[in-house]
A and B are shown apart, each in its own frame.
Chain A
Protein backbone atom coordinates (compact mmCIF):
# COMPACT_ATOMS: atom_id res chain seq x y z
CA UNK A 1 0.00 0.00 0.00
CA UNK A 2 2.92 2.32 -0.82
CA UNK A 3 1.65 5.85 -1.43
CA UNK A 4 4.24 7.04 -3.98
CA UNK A 5 6.24 4.32 -5.67
CA UNK A 6 9.11 4.68 -8.10
CA UNK A 7 10.81 2.10 -10.26
CA UNK A 8 13.55 1.18 -10.54
CA UNK A 9 15.18 1.90 -7.17
CA UNK A 10 18.66 1.68 -8.68
CA UNK A 11 19.71 2.37 -12.25
CA UNK A 12 23.28 1.86 -13.43
CA UNK A 13 23.95 2.57 -17.08
CA UNK A 14 26.50 3.77 -19.59
CA UNK A 15 26.93 7.33 -20.78
CA UNK A 16 24.90 8.01 -23.91
CA UNK A 17 22.11 5.56 -23.12
CA UNK A 18 18.41 6.44 -22.81
CA UNK A 19 16.53 5.43 -19.67
CA UNK A 20 13.12 5.90 -18.03
CA UNK A 21 11.98 6.14 -14.43
CA UNK A 22 8.36 5.44 -13.55
CA UNK A 23 6.30 6.92 -10.75
CA UNK A 24 2.83 6.06 -9.51
CA UNK A 25 0.81 7.49 -6.62
CA UNK A 26 -2.29 5.97 -5.07
CA UNK A 27 -3.24 8.96 -2.91
CA UNK A 28 -5.62 10.46 -5.45
CA UNK A 29 -3.50 13.63 -5.62
CA UNK A 30 -3.82 15.91 -8.64
CA UNK A 31 -0.26 17.26 -8.70
CA UNK A 32 2.98 15.34 -9.23
CA UNK A 33 6.62 16.40 -9.23
CA UNK A 34 10.11 15.30 -10.17
CA UNK A 35 13.08 16.42 -8.07
CA UNK A 36 16.81 15.85 -8.43
CA UNK A 37 18.99 15.44 -5.32
CA UNK A 38 22.71 15.77 -5.87
CA UNK A 39 25.59 14.27 -3.93
CA UNK A 40 25.48 17.18 -1.45
CA UNK A 41 21.82 16.42 -0.70
CA UNK A 42 20.64 19.56 -2.45
CA UNK A 43 17.10 18.96 -3.69
CA UNK A 44 15.85 20.86 -6.73
CA UNK A 45 12.50 20.81 -8.49
CA UNK A 46 12.61 19.74 -12.13
CA UNK A 47 9.00 19.42 -13.26
CA UNK A 48 5.49 19.56 -11.91
CA UNK A 49 2.24 18.35 -13.45
CA UNK A 50 -1.29 19.20 -12.39
CA UNK A 51 -4.01 16.94 -13.81
CA UNK A 52 -1.64 15.85 -16.59
CA UNK A 53 -0.70 19.44 -17.50
CA UNK A 54 2.85 20.71 -17.14
CA UNK A 55 2.89 23.65 -14.69
CA UNK A 56 6.52 23.87 -13.56
CA UNK A 57 9.41 23.35 -15.94
CA UNK A 58 12.66 24.49 -14.40
CA UNK A 59 15.85 25.02 -16.35
CA UNK A 60 16.41 21.39 -17.19
CA UNK A 61 18.18 20.11 -20.33
CA UNK A 62 15.66 19.04 -22.95
CA UNK A 63 17.18 15.57 -22.76
CA UNK A 64 14.80 15.19 -19.81
CA UNK A 65 11.19 14.67 -20.85
CA UNK A 66 8.39 14.03 -18.36
CA UNK A 67 5.21 12.27 -19.41
CA UNK A 68 1.97 12.04 -17.48
CA UNK A 69 -0.41 9.47 -19.01
CA UNK A 70 -2.92 10.09 -16.22
CA UNK A 71 -2.95 12.00 -12.96
CA UNK A 72 -1.71 8.99 -10.99
CA UNK A 73 1.43 8.52 -13.08
CA UNK A 74 4.39 10.72 -13.95
CA UNK A 75 7.30 9.17 -15.78
CA UNK A 76 10.69 10.67 -16.56
CA UNK A 77 12.59 9.80 -19.70
CA UNK A 78 16.22 10.81 -20.07
CA UNK A 79 18.02 10.75 -23.42
CA UNK A 80 21.77 10.63 -24.03
CA UNK A 81 22.72 10.26 -20.39
CA UNK A 82 25.73 12.24 -19.18
CA UNK A 83 28.01 11.79 -16.16
CA UNK A 84 26.44 14.86 -14.53
CA UNK A 85 23.05 13.17 -14.53
CA UNK A 86 24.20 10.89 -11.71
CA UNK A 87 21.95 11.72 -8.77
CA UNK A 88 18.93 10.51 -6.86
CA UNK A 89 15.64 11.38 -8.56
CA UNK A 90 12.54 11.72 -6.42
CA UNK A 91 8.93 11.69 -7.44
CA UNK A 92 6.38 13.41 -5.21
CA UNK A 93 2.67 14.17 -5.20
CA UNK A 94 0.27 16.51 -3.44
CA UNK A 95 -3.10 18.16 -3.68
CA UNK A 96 -3.20 21.46 -5.52
CA UNK A 97 -2.45 24.41 -3.28
CA UNK A 98 0.63 25.95 -1.77
CA UNK A 99 -0.22 24.74 1.74
CA UNK A 100 -0.40 21.09 0.83
CA UNK A 101 2.37 18.78 2.05
CA UNK A 102 4.18 16.81 -0.60
CA UNK A 103 4.51 13.02 -0.38
CA UNK A 104 7.75 11.60 -1.72
CA UNK A 105 8.74 8.26 -3.16
CA UNK A 106 11.94 6.60 -1.96
CA UNK A 107 13.96 7.76 -4.94
CA UNK A 108 15.79 6.26 -7.90
CA UNK A 109 19.56 6.29 -7.61
CA UNK A 110 20.96 6.83 -11.11
CA UNK A 111 24.64 6.08 -11.67
CA UNK A 112 26.28 6.80 -15.00
CA UNK A 113 29.42 4.84 -15.84
Chain B
Protein backbone atom coordinates (compact mmCIF):
# COMPACT_ATOMS: atom_id res chain seq x y z
CA UNK B 1 0.00 0.00 0.00
CA UNK B 2 1.07 3.61 -0.43
CA UNK B 3 3.27 5.10 2.21
CA UNK B 4 2.06 8.67 1.89
CA UNK B 5 -1.36 10.10 1.38
CA UNK B 6 -1.99 13.77 0.72
CA UNK B 7 -4.98 15.67 1.88
CA UNK B 8 -6.92 17.27 0.30
CA UNK B 9 -6.87 15.54 -3.09
CA UNK B 10 -7.73 18.85 -4.75
CA UNK B 11 -7.63 22.46 -3.59
CA UNK B 12 -8.71 25.65 -5.35
CA UNK B 13 -7.91 29.07 -3.90
CA UNK B 14 -7.74 32.67 -5.02
CA UNK B 15 -4.43 34.15 -6.02
CA UNK B 16 -2.74 35.75 -3.03
CA UNK B 17 -4.24 33.34 -0.49
CA UNK B 18 -2.22 30.72 1.36
CA UNK B 19 -2.44 27.04 0.43
CA UNK B 20 -1.91 24.23 2.92
CA UNK B 21 -1.47 20.59 1.96
CA UNK B 22 -1.03 17.68 4.33
CA UNK B 23 0.74 14.36 4.02
CA UNK B 24 0.36 11.36 6.29
CA UNK B 25 2.58 8.32 6.24
CA UNK B 26 2.64 4.94 7.92
CA UNK B 27 6.13 3.91 9.01
CA UNK B 28 9.26 5.54 10.45
CA UNK B 29 11.17 7.69 8.02
CA UNK B 30 14.63 9.17 7.51
CA UNK B 31 13.47 12.18 5.54
CA UNK B 32 10.43 13.60 3.86
CA UNK B 33 10.56 15.52 0.61
CA UNK B 34 8.01 17.62 -1.25
CA UNK B 35 7.85 17.75 -5.03
CA UNK B 36 5.81 19.78 -7.52
CA UNK B 37 4.54 18.48 -10.87
CA UNK B 38 3.26 20.85 -13.50
CA UNK B 39 0.88 19.41 -16.08
CA UNK B 40 2.75 17.29 -18.63
CA UNK B 41 6.10 17.71 -16.88
CA UNK B 42 8.33 15.79 -14.52
CA UNK B 43 8.50 16.28 -10.78
CA UNK B 44 10.58 19.11 -9.36
CA UNK B 45 12.11 18.90 -5.91
CA UNK B 46 10.94 21.66 -3.56
CA UNK B 47 12.23 20.96 -0.07
CA UNK B 48 13.54 18.19 2.18
CA UNK B 49 12.97 17.92 5.91
CA UNK B 50 14.88 15.47 8.06
CA UNK B 51 13.23 13.31 10.68
CA UNK B 52 14.90 15.29 13.48
CA UNK B 53 13.63 18.65 12.14
CA UNK B 54 10.22 20.12 12.91
CA UNK B 55 10.01 23.03 10.50
CA UNK B 56 11.81 24.30 7.43
CA UNK B 57 11.41 27.33 5.20
CA UNK B 58 12.36 28.04 1.61
CA UNK B 59 11.10 31.28 0.09
CA UNK B 60 7.29 31.16 0.18
CA UNK B 61 7.31 27.51 1.27
CA UNK B 62 7.03 26.32 4.85
CA UNK B 63 7.16 22.64 5.70
CA UNK B 64 6.42 21.09 9.08
CA UNK B 65 6.99 17.54 10.24
CA UNK B 66 5.37 15.81 13.19
CA UNK B 67 6.91 12.36 13.53
CA UNK B 68 4.67 11.46 16.48
CA UNK B 69 1.63 11.90 14.24
CA UNK B 70 3.46 10.68 11.12
CA UNK B 71 2.39 13.75 9.20
CA UNK B 72 3.79 16.72 7.33
CA UNK B 73 2.30 19.89 5.92
CA UNK B 74 3.34 22.17 3.09
CA UNK B 75 2.26 25.78 3.25
CA UNK B 76 2.58 28.04 0.21
CA UNK B 77 2.11 31.67 1.16
CA UNK B 78 0.88 34.45 -1.13
CA UNK B 79 -0.02 32.00 -3.89
CA UNK B 80 0.51 32.84 -7.55
CA UNK B 81 -1.05 31.46 -10.72
CA UNK B 82 2.28 29.74 -11.46
CA UNK B 83 1.84 27.65 -8.29
CA UNK B 84 -0.95 25.71 -10.04
CA UNK B 85 0.37 22.14 -10.06
CA UNK B 86 0.19 18.81 -8.28
CA UNK B 87 2.18 18.49 -5.07
CA UNK B 88 3.55 15.21 -3.77
CA UNK B 89 5.21 14.19 -0.56
CA UNK B 90 7.83 11.45 -0.70
CA UNK B 91 9.22 9.49 2.19
CA UNK B 92 12.53 7.78 2.55
CA UNK B 93 12.20 4.80 4.86
CA UNK B 94 14.94 3.57 7.15
CA UNK B 95 16.24 1.10 4.58
CA UNK B 96 19.09 3.23 3.27
CA UNK B 97 18.65 2.36 -0.41
CA UNK B 98 17.48 5.78 -1.67
CA UNK B 99 14.01 4.41 -2.40
CA UNK B 100 11.39 7.14 -2.27
CA UNK B 101 7.74 6.27 -1.75
CA UNK B 102 5.42 8.94 -3.12
CA UNK B 103 2.04 9.99 -1.83
CA UNK B 104 -1.13 10.36 -3.83
CA UNK B 105 -0.71 14.07 -4.52
CA UNK B 106 -2.74 17.25 -4.04
CA UNK B 107 -3.94 19.05 -7.14
CA UNK B 108 -3.66 22.80 -6.42
CA UNK B 109 -5.42 25.33 -8.63
CA UNK B 110 -4.80 29.05 -8.15
CA UNK B 111 -7.63 31.20 -9.48
CA UNK B 112 -6.36 34.55 -10.87
Q: Is the interface of B mostly helix, strand, loop or mixed?
A: strand
Q: How far is the CA of A105 from the CA of B40 in the complex (A)?
A: 11
Q: Are A98 and B42 in contact (CB under 8 A)?
A: no
Q: Are B102 and A98 in contact (CB under 8 A)?
A: no
A residues less than 8 Å from B101 (CB atoms): 45
B10 nearest CB across to chain A (Å): 11
B residues less than 8 Å from A45 (CB atoms): 99-101
B residues less than 8 Å from A31 (CB atoms): 98
Q: Are B86 and A99 in contact (CB under 8 A)?
A: no
Using A42-B104, A43-B43, A104-B43 as known contacts, say yes or no to A99 and B97 having CB atoms under 8 A apart.
no
Over the window 89-113 of chain A, the binary record of Cβ atoms lying under 8 Å from chain B Cβ atoms (1 yes, 0 no) is 0101010111111111111000000
Q: Are B45 and A98 in contact (CB under 8 A)?
A: no
Please count how many residues in chain A sit with their CB below 8 Å of the partner chain's CB atoms: 27
**CB of B75 within 8 A of chain A?**
no
Q: Are A106 and B98 in contact (CB under 8 A)?
A: no
**CB of B61 within 8 A of chain A?**
no
Over the window 20-48 of chain B, the binary record of Cβ atoms lying under 8 Å from chain A Cβ atoms (1 yes, 0 no) is 00000000001101000100111111001
**CB of A63 within 8 A of chain B?**
no
Using A41-B104, A43-B88, A96-B98 as known contacts, say yes or no to A101 and B48 having CB atoms under 8 A apart.
yes
Q: List 23 A-B contacts (CB under 8 A).
A: A40-B104, A42-B105, A43-B43, A45-B99, A45-B101, A48-B98, A48-B99, A55-B97, A56-B99, A90-B42, A90-B43, A92-B43, A94-B98, A96-B98, A97-B98, A98-B96, A99-B92, A100-B98, A101-B45, A102-B45, A104-B42, A104-B43, A106-B41
